[in-house]
Amino acid sequence: MVAVDEGEFVLLNDLPVEDQTLDLLGTSMVAGELANLIYGSRASTPFVLAVDGRWGTGKSTLMRQLSDILAGRPAVQTVWFNAWTASGVSALTGLLKVVLGKLDRNVVRRAFRRLRDNELLGSSVRIGATVAASFFRLDRALDQLWAQMSVDARAREQARELLRNSLDAWVDETTGEPRHTIVVFVDDLDRCGEATAIEICEAIKLYLDLPGIAFVLGCDLSVLSRIPLSGIETGAQVREYLEKIVQVSYQIPVASEATVASMIRGYAARSRTGHLLTEPLIALIGRQCAGNPRRVKRLLNSFVAEYQLDPHWRQFGADGLLKSVLLQHLYPDLYRDILHTAGDTAGDFLAYRHARNWLLGRGQLSSDDESIRAGQDLMTSYGVVPPGGGADLELWERALGQLDGRVSEAWRLLVDNEDCHRLIRDLGPEDERLRLQNRLRRRPLSTAPTPLDPSAGTEPRFDGLRLLWVDDKPAGNEMTIESLTARGAQVRTCVDTRQALDLLLMFRPNALVSDVGRDGDDQAGFDGLRALREAGYSGPALFFSSYVSDERRRQADAVGAEITSSAARVSEWAQAQAAAVPSTGRQRSPDAPEALARRK
């Protein structure tokens, strides 16, 4: 890792790609075909087309390109509805308003007049006889109607009639087909909250199911199919409900390895990081990011930000930083192990694999091999006696079980991950690996990715969770804590049991996360939780430690807690605790507040 002048790297934006020359996934061709389908089917309106794909797979890019193409076609109007800003009835009013906003004002004015003359407008909507001459009064009448819709079901039906009457002017009296089409784009429907998503679906089906209107929904249908609906008990019934709303869906395909590699090279060129990405690294990023464009861009942006914000990396070398960022993003639990341990942790992880292979092969590999010797040395350091020649199968299996039970949980999960091992080997020989690990321990990376994967669906909320986090070395916990607080949790941190006891009475936590070892005391966390239990804390607890063994699991269980070395498991556990919090978000007061008072 030599210091070189890397020049200025550049951040990538996360905007949908509208310029076809910047399209790295070939979406423009698909957009053209979908535009032809919609345009050729406008006589069949109303209908709904869903662009189905997981988070970050390019739905918005495809929809933007589709919108641009359709906007250039005759007799087509396009409009975007931001589902993120809608909630409750405002989803319905917002949708109706964006559609009416695309109609000719004279047409809407005449529709208003017909409703008034036929006494279909309620008394809440006051529209004067001179409305024909005043657009201002028309706007005011529309606003009155929207406001009334939130409390009056009849006003909603009036709005539907207004829309139907306005669209009647578009229908050819001879053929009965609409002469114009409004294409409404609704993106991120699966991420705007369950109530809003249902409201938008109901609005589309009950109020906007009219000739001349087509909808394009950007969503992950697998997420929508899990939304609980009143009166619907099974997933099959939810899918049947969605089929009544969505007439056709286009699923974003899984990009080929060649396409993903080309995309990564394109992003690297734009961020000026291309000289750092070897072909093996490109392949690794493509596989571990599952070809997700957004994840690739976040990874490269984290590298660029770290390099520009921390001048020490300019002396250390951009290559070492890039591999550190890859480790942090792709294998966060192993990255955290490195931060919270000493010595050549990465090398020990490699030795663990060698040891397992040797044990699984029952010593058939040559003990003269340097890697096998490293594995045997690791076994010895963990108190596992390497079986000698002629040992029976039971001894080999016992040694393997002991080793697996004493190493980090992250190691066990990643031991067969070829990409992870290749990345660790690429850190260089022992002296270079150790230099990089010590650098990370002194100054951990600051642009941590969220451990909650949004591609798994709607990001969970942690409202009502009051989490007390005890750790004397908090570096490495920031990514999890920031993710929790960004979604509504309250988190207080402290470094020892004394501070935790002080916070217990003031903060009144309903969940607790703690480390285990502190300053050479490998019982500090267990003893600390016992003290908190004695002081009145009766809530759930989780130990978060880089080292998890069967003995530590027994000790955690003895104090009514779980133990893990996985940051992802911490987030899952916190989500479960947040879901269990009553609507008041308050746990009962500690059983013995006087015990706390004595410590003040």
pLDDT digits (tens, 9 = 90+) for 505-558: 878 899 999 999 988 898 999 999 999 999 999 999 999 987 788 889 999 999
User: Among 101, 99, 84, 107, which residue's Cα sits nearest to residue 45?
Assistant: 99
> How far from chain centre, in Å, is Cα 178?
41
Contact predicate 526/516, CB 8 Å: yes
Q: pLDDT digits over 54-65, tens only?
A: 776 778 888 888
- Rounded to 5 degrees, what angle do the CA atoms 80, 84, 87 make? 110
| Selected residue with higher pLDDT from 458 and 284 | 284
User: What does the pLDDT read at residue 143?
Assistant: 64
Number of neighbours of residue 241 by Cβ within 10 angstroms: 19
User: What does the pLDDT read at residue 219?
Assistant: 83
User: What does the pLDDT read at residue 450?
Assistant: 53
- Residue 236's pLDDT band, with cuts at 50, 70 and 90, is low
User: Among 497, 491, 444, which residue's Cα sits nearest to residue 469?
Assistant: 491
| Selected residue with higher pLDDT from 220 and 435 | 435
Q: What percent of the chain has pLDDT over 90?
A: 23
- Say whether 277 sits in a helix, a strand or coil: coil
User: What does the pLDDT read at residue 368?
Assistant: 55
User: What does the pLDDT read at residue 484?
Assistant: 80
| Selected residue with higher pLDDT from 595 and 55 | 55
> Lowest mean pLDDT: which of 42-51, 106-115, 149-158, 476-485?
149-158
- Rounded to the nearest integer, the mean pLDDT of the chain is 78
First to last CA, the chain: 52
- Residue 1's pLDDT band, with cuts at 50, 70 and 90, is very low
If you ran DSSP here, which 8-state letter would residue 448 be given?
P
Q: What percent of the chain has pLDDT over 70?
A: 75
- Does the pLDDT at position 496 exceed 60? yes
User: What does the pLDDT read at residue 593?
Assistant: 34
User: What does the pLDDT read at residue 541?
Assistant: 96
- Residue 559's pLDDT band, with cuts at 50, 70 and 90, is very high
**Per-residue CA distances from 72 to 67, 105, 207 (Å):** 9, 22, 27
Contact predicate 218/189, CB 8 Å: yes
DSSP readout, 506-563?
Answer: HH--SEEEE-S-BTTBTTHHHHHHHHHHHTT--S-EEEE-S---HHHHHHHHHTT-EE
- Residue 469's pLDDT band, with cuts at 50, 70 and 90, is very high
| Alpha-carbon span 137 to 135, nearest angstrom | 5
Entry pTM? 0.62
> Lowest mean pLDDT: which of 65-79, 229-243, 248-262, 417-431?
229-243
**Per-residue CA distances from 414 to 27, 409, 419, 512 (Å):** 34, 9, 9, 27
User: What does the pLDDT read at residue 475?
Assistant: 63
> Lowest mean pLDDT: which of 65-69, 147-151, 501-505, 561-565?
147-151
- Residue 25's pLDDT band, with cuts at 50, 70 and 90, is low
What average pLDDT does range 126-145 have in this prediction? 50
User: Among 502, 501, 497, which residue's Cα sits nearest to residue 521?
Assistant: 497
| Alpha-carbon span 542 to 557, nearest angstrom | 10
Domain annotation for the chain: domains and CATH numbers: 269-442 (no CATH), 454-599 (3.40.50.2300)
What stretches of 289-365 show up as alpha helix (H) in DSSP?
293-309, 312-316, 318-330, 332-339, 345-360
User: What does the pLDDT read at residue 20?
Assistant: 54
Number of neighbours of residue 244 by Cβ within 10 angstroms: 10
User: What does the pLDDT read at residue 141?
Assistant: 62
- Residue 485's pLDDT band, with cuts at 50, 70 and 90, is confident
User: What does the pLDDT read at residue 426?
Assistant: 93
DSSP readout, 106-127?
Answer: HHHHHHHHHHHHTT-S-TTS--
| Selected residue with higher pLDDT from 345 and 452 | 345
| Selected residue with higher pLDDT from 455 and 365 | 365
User: Among 228, 235, 221, 229, which residue's Cα sits nearest to residue 190?
Assistant: 221
Non-local CB neighbours of 404 within 8 Å, separated by 6+ positions: 356, 412
Please state whether beta strands 490-494 and 466-470 pair in parallel, antiparallel, or not at all (unpaired): parallel
Query: Could you give the angle at which helices 318-330 and 430-442 cross, rounded to 10 degrees?
Result: 70
Q: Which residues of 51-81 are buried (b: 16+ CB within 10 A; e: fewer)?
A: bbbbbbbbbbbbbbbbbbbbeebeebbbbeb
What average pLDDT does range 129-152 have in this prediction? 54
| Selected residue with higher pLDDT from 397 and 118 | 397
Contact predicate 563/548, CB 8 Å: yes
Q: Which residues share a beta bridge with 171? A: 178
**Residue 298 main-chain phi, psi, to 5 deg:** -65, -40
Lookup: tokens for 89: 């009835």
If you ran DSSP here, which 8-state letter would residue 13 be given?
P
Contact predicate 460/323, CB 8 Å: no
**H/E segment holding residue 436:** helix 430-442
Lookup: tokens for 298: 């976040």
